[in-house]
Chains A and B, each alone.
Chain A
Amino acid sequence: MPRTYEPLATTTLTSVTQNLTFSSIPATYTDLVLVLSLRASTTASDAYFRYNNDSATNYSDTVLRGNGTTVSSVRDSNALGMDIGVTAVSTDISPFQTPTIINIMNYANTTTFKTALIRTSNSTAMVSAIAGLWRSTVAINTINIIHRGTGWDIGSTATLYGILKA
């Protein structure tokens, strides 16, 4: 019986890092799952993720979220990356990180644009369910998780899994 859910790479930050990158992702899996436990090194949680170091406005996302009082939906079109929601920040209780789980379907195909489902659970600020899109037919071989401030804090972790259909 083959393994169908395999860890491809994992990292625990030992220094503040702005761009957390997985590169040389093999094209031999069907889907990818990225599990993040993040904490920003500053009070800014603004972050997004990109593929293949593409920094053009080829991304969009739709965000459904609850902040503890209201539910709202927002979207970003022609964006520089896909929103990952609100992560833990430096002023939160420590050592506290927020889980983000990203499912990337059919990532290696060269025919369709690439869709992702993102869940970020932050018990101090916001709970988010997000759909993201990269308007490219290129196979995904690199993922960048980018903090738009000074970076992700020491101790933040990230693991990339590959899923095989059989």
Chain B
Amino acid sequence: MAYTYSKIATYNVGSGGISSVSFLNIPQTYTDLIIKASPDSTYTAGSYGDGLGLSYNNDKTTTNYNNRYFYGYDSSSGSGTQNANTVALFPDDAATMTNNVFGNIEIYIPRYTSNNIKSSSIDFASEVNSATNWVTGFYSSRWNNTAPITSITLSPTAGFVFKQYSTFHLYGVKAEV
């Protein structure tokens, strides 16, 4: 009997880093997808962390994505919206960041093979032992496209790379009884 919650693919970033991670040819046999990521990047300008880019089927047109989110850090909190495919924040190489800290991100994508517009739920948390850096946030992301998702690309800010020891795992969940 097949497992309901199965690992589809995993990517461990090696020496030198990598500019993006793609899961290609995603099987269309599951109901939902879950990504669990623990990234760090070489981006230096993000004192609150780097933004995780998430694109489906190689669609990198940011206006095709809508996000709504809220977050908390230090003693502050806030909420906002974006026409962007940035869906989470994670540690980077800004001077205020602590080295050797990786983020914690979970992305839940229900009904990824359906003909619906695709909505996802994202939770992230980073603790870097600093009074001024990001801690946690909750995102809702929408891809305004009804095509089944066959590939997913994750990326840091353009021109930078995910650092060695960053990890990315893609799981499939089956809903059939």
By a beta-carbon cutoff of 8 Å, the part of chain A in contact with chain B is 3-10, 35, 37, 64-71, 93-99, 101, 119-129, 155, 157, 159, 161
Least CB distance, A60 to chain B, in whole angstroms: 21
A97: which of B77, B80, B116, B122 is its contact (CB, 8 Å)? B116
Most buried by B among A65, A97, A99, A121: A121
Q: Does B110 contact A (CB under 8 A)?
A: yes
Is B111's CB under 8 angstroms from A37's CB?
yes
Inter-chain contacts of A101 with B (CB < 8 A): 108, 121
Write 6 A-B pairs (CB below 8 A) sorted by A numbering: A3-B1, A4-B5, A64-B70, A95-B146, A121-B120, A157-B110
Inter-chain contacts of B177 with A (CB < 8 A): 7-10
Is A71's CB under 8 angstroms from B176's CB?
no
- The size bracket of the interface on B is 35 or more
Least CB distance, A81 to chain B, in whole angstroms: 21
Is A37's CB under 8 angstroms from B66's CB?
no
Q: Does B9 contact A (CB under 8 A)?
A: no
Is A127's CB under 8 angstroms from B138's CB?
yes
Least CB distance, B18 to chain A, in whole angstroms: 28
Q: Does B115 contact A (CB under 8 A)?
A: yes
Is A10's CB under 8 angstroms from B4's CB?
no
Interfacial residues of chain B within 67-85, with CB under 8 A of chain A in the complex: 67-72, 77-81
* Known contacts A3-B1, A3-B3, A129-B138; is-contact A119 B69 (Cβ 8 Å): no
> What residue of chain A has the Cβ atom nearest to residue B76's Cβ?
A71
* CA gap between A159 and B173 in the complex, in Å: 11
Inter-chain contacts of A4 with B (CB < 8 A): 5
